[in-house]
């Protein structure tokens, strides 16, 4: 009886912990959701219409210009999330995602060669001052493709990660292939830009139509769109948490092993 009661208490405790984890993840997703929307509203929205008109006039060269700006900007540590949000607002969800994925992969390739050929000494000196980052570097050098994908899924700074992997012993081919791990984060940030622009346009249309939705639209579509965004952000947070847990385990293993 006592054993049964003890087991029941443990089960209830684990269930409560599980629910707390779910609530925390939802809360984090909401905070991130609101924060990204505020970033769009106060930083990007005043310029989006002008940027969209400019991109339309450029035609084919619009996406090329965006990729060039992404490549230069993220290489000097401008957050790629800002550019991904802008892509979603300007190009829409799917084309914005296409251009961000292409731009992110090309930037990763450029950072790899710049880091390996020009900045290796400086980055290695920086790693020497931070043993935990150095441990991740050692783990990435030995664990290969799997860990590089996990690193891409994690919330580590995009540009720093590119240079970190560039000075490691990572091979070029798995480094490039592992870039598909950026997809979940890219999707959620592009989705934020798309949804924020859509919300701004919807608010303007509803106001001009006397509080009614535009013809051909309905609340089911609107709710589905924003629930999809919330689901994408929650999924990204969960995946990033799992990836960070695996990275910490690999880094701890690397720290416990003698340096080669």
Per-residue pLDDT of the chain (260 residues), as tens digits, is 444 444 444 443 444 445 566 566 666 666 766 776 676 666 666 777 787 788 888 888 999 999 999 999 988 888 888 899 889 989 999 999 999 999 999 999 998 888 888 776 666 666 566 555 566 666 665 556 888 888 888 888 888 888 888 877 788 888 899 999 999 889 988 998 898 888 877 777 777 766 677 776 777 777 888 888 888 877 887 888 888 887 777 666 655 655 55
pLDDT single digits (tens) 93-143: 999 999 999 999 999 999 888 888 877 666 666 656 655 556 666 666 555
> Is 3 exposed, middle or buried, given 0-12, 13-18 or 19+ CB atoms closer than 10 A?
exposed
Element (DSSP H or E) covering residue 186: helix 183-208
Contact (CB, 8 A) for 232 and 191? yes
* Of the candidates 52, 27, 59, 82, the residue with the CA atom closest to the CA atom of residue 200: 52
What is d(CA 109, CA 73) in angstroms, rounded to the nearest whole number?
15
Burial code (b: 16+ CB inside 10 Å, e: under 16) for 93-117 equals beebbbbbbebbeebbbbbbeebbe
What is d(CA 62, CA 128) in angstroms, rounded to the nearest whole number?
42
The tokens for 162 are 């590119």
What is d(CA 110, CA 185) in angstroms, rounded to the nearest whole number?
20
Cα dihedral 32, 37, 38, 40 in deg (nearest 10): 130
């Amino acid at each position: 009886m006592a054993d049964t009661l003890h087991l029941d208490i443990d089960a209830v405790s684990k269930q409560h912990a599980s629910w707390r984890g779910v609530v925390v993840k939802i809360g984090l997703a909401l905070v991130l959701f609101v924060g990204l929307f505020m970033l769009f509203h106060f930083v990007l929205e005043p310029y989006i219409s002008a940027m969209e008109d400019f991109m339309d006039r450029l035609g084919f060269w619009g996406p090329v210009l965006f990729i060039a700006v992404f490549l230069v900007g993220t290489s000097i540590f401008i957050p790629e999330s800002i550019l991904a949000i802008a892509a979603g607002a300007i190009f829409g969800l799917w084309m914005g995602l296409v251009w961000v994925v292409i731009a992110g992969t090309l930037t990763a390739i450029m950072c790899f060669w710049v880091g390996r050929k020009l900045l290796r000494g400086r980055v290695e000196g920086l790693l020497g001052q931070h043993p935990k980052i150095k441990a991740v570097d050692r783990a990435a050098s030995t664990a290969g493709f799997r860990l590089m994908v996990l690193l891409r899924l994690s919330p580590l700074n995009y540009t720093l990660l590119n240079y970190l992997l560039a000075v490691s012993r990572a091979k070029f081919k798995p480094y490039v292939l592992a870039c598909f791990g950026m997809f979940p984060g890219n999707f959620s940030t592009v989705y934020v830009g798309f949804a924020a622009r859509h919300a701004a346009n919807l608010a303007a249309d509803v106001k001009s139509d006397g509080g009614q939705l535009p013809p051909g639209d309905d609340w089911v579509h609107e709710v589905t769109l924003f629930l999809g965004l919330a689901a994408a952000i929650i999924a990204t947070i969960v995946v990033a948490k799992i990836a960070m847990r695996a990275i910490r385990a690999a880094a701890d293993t690397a720290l416990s092993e003698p340096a080669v």
